[in-house]
Amino acid sequence: MKRTLILAAVLAVTGSSVFGQAPPPPPRPGTTADTTVPTFRAKQVLGTKVMIAGDTNIGTVEDLVFDDAGNLEYMVVDNGGKLTTVPWEAAKFNFEKKIATLTITADQYKVIPTYTTTTYPSFYTPAYRTETYKYYGLTPRDLRRLRR
């Protein structure tokens, strides 16, 4: 009896009902419950055409690289077997057109080192991160590590 009165009091104060109340509707695809936070899925990014200087195609997104804490760090761009590392923050996406644009010039792009699938770099060495971000005029954020 006491538990029933306490439950009734809690429900009356919160204005909710355990029975008969429909769950909140799920968020629309491509959004979260907080519509101010954009979301995307990996398959929306993979295969995206990457452009510089507005109209120069430099390849497509081949792969994504995450840090130890699960944060998206880089895109790997494939240009005919030559791979380039692009910090995630360097790209502006148009998901409808499946295009990512980098704000660097063709001359800047020419000096960025490339590699192949057999010679992947050590993405998280401090020197590699600093150099890679510098090519795009960015500073790497602090790495977040999970303790397991």
The domains located in the chain, with CATH, are 42-135 (2.30.30.240)
| Tokens 């590590």, located at residue | 145
Measured between alpha carbons, how far is 58 from 86 in angstroms, rounded to an integer? 11
Output the tens digit of pLDDT for each of the chain's 148 residues: 444 434 344 344 444 444 444 555 555 555 555 556 667 788 889 999 999 976 899 999 999 999 888 888 999 999 999 999 999 999 999 988 999 999 899 899 999 999 999 999 999 899 999 999 999 999 988 776 656 5
DSSP structure class, residue 50 = E
- Tell me, what's the pLDDT at 53? 78
DSSP 51: E
Query: Which string of DSSP letters, residue by residue, matches 60-108?
Result: EEEEEEE-TTS-EEEEEEEETTEEEEEEGGGEEEETTTTEEEE---HHH
| Torsion angle defined by CA atoms of residues 90, 95, 98 and 103, in that order, rounded to the nearest 10 degrees | -20
